[in-house]
Chains A and B, each alone.
Chain A
């Protein structure tokens, strides 16, 4: 059996690898405010410190800006996605963050951005802040809560729907000739992936530089530096980097479904390939753990086949 044909797009090698992802519970929230600035502030606060379930308990980010005409109350808004490892965790983390980051944010209101699935409490939990003065309204097919605050009233939906078909940990690695080239490629990827609805990149600016492997030499540490992709460890540890690669950045994707993660990855890798070898990009790889971490395997060759025009290899 011959070795699989290499897949090269615009001088960028797409490695015959796969991203290994796992099931999550997720939901979408819509935050509005009097101005886009304050809607963004509340959304950024809600999704702060939510890069990885490893240390944050959830993964969250802004999905997109929503024009005022499309929001529930006609004010500027943002949609955010938030994911946790279980529905139980999601039901705990969503009201906690909403209470600390949206209820507190000037002029904000909080609405359900996802219907169906298990109900995750919003106003159902936050209403008690009203100390008995809270008001509910059950009109138009859903219940809202009005909670008196010093500024006026905080309005939010009682519940938001959820999905347990969400997928976390989609990813790809950008192997570049230089740090600036890696960063430019990552920025291009994030910009393109931002157009895909239903998926987010939870790390800072959508990019993670500290891709990890499972486990550590230190007891109690469940993740540690992925030395195979650390350019400064070439020669010390087993490396996955060719000699010309000086810098690697990773983009991690969470989505409300497997398809949205795939769409996001494809959009990102396509943007990276758009910069091509001329942009200092050498290869695109993906992080996996031998297939033992999660049931979702996003195979790069299959993913990029529609873009490259190549026939994907048969399943690995």
Chain B
């Protein structure tokens, strides 16, 4: 026995905090132990076994049924793997420092908030504030990789401090707000208002943004050797933009209103 499959018995009737459902936390437990654990459920608690059918699996890690009321899945994970079959609620992967979280459906708001390591893959869309700060924190995600196949909501990468966020679809308004360092890559369109208060860091976009926040200056086109390098060292990045990066991009520098020297690279 190496892992568990947790299958929802019925759609959740209230929000559940799933942050305790981590591979390390359940390691060594048996099915009865796992089923007997309690989870925050609405304003109270519920036994895990009342919500989920628990089954031991040969494969390592956890496989959990998704539900849009299932919050904080994989939050705080340091190692191991959690796979979600379906969609999840808010704060998935928040504060993760290692391991791998895979979500086959959509993720709610606050995905990867405060992420410092590990990898999150979302095959659907994600909500607002992907990679932003956790409540009470001043800085957003500072390491790790987040890959979202679909689109994301507003506030992508707010106060991002490091790491890489890949968005296969579009990004909503006000992305890269106060971005400090790290990399955002958006294959679709970058919504209006991006880059407000941006200090450093890089936003890679396939097409010219609709309307950036005021304070960006175009430095012109350039053949960036660094992009060729990253395309080979980070295959995800190249794949996001069709398999390869030519290296050619127009560089927009900002946000100068904040004295920042971040960049938005518009790939040609």
Contact = CB atoms under 8 A, between A and B. Distances in A.
Interface of A: 72-75, 107, 109, 111, 133, 135-142, 144, 146, 152-153, 155
A72 B232 contact: yes
A139 B237 CA distance: 10
A75 B233 contact: no
Contacts of B224: 152-153
A139 B225 contact: no
B229 A72 contact: yes
Given A152-B222, A152-B223, A137 B183 contact: yes
Contacts of B162: 138
Given A133-B261, A135-B200, A135-B202, A140 B233 contact: yes
B226 A74 contact: no
Interface in B114-138: none
Chain B interface, >50% SS class: mixed
A146 B223 CA distance: 13
A13 B183 CA distance: 63
A111 B225 CA distance: 12
A107 B224 CA distance: 11
Chain A interface, >50% SS class: strand
Contacts of B200: 135
A77 B153 CA distance: 43
Given A139-B233, A140-B230, A142-B233, A155 B225 contact: yes
Contacts of A141: 233
A72 B233 contact: yes
Nearest to B234: A140
Interface in B247-268: 261, 263
Contact of A73 (B164, B222, B225, B234): B225
A139 B234 contact: yes
A137 B225 contact: no
B228 interface: yes
Contact of A109 (B181, B225, B237): B225
A139 B183 CA distance: 9
Contacts of B234: 139-140
A274 B234 CA distance: 47
In the A-B complex, list the 5 residue pairs whose CB atoms are closest, starting with the nearest: A140-B233, A73-B229, A73-B228, A140-B234, A155-B225
A137 B228 contact: no
Contacts of A72: 229, 232-233
B181 to A, nearest CB: 8
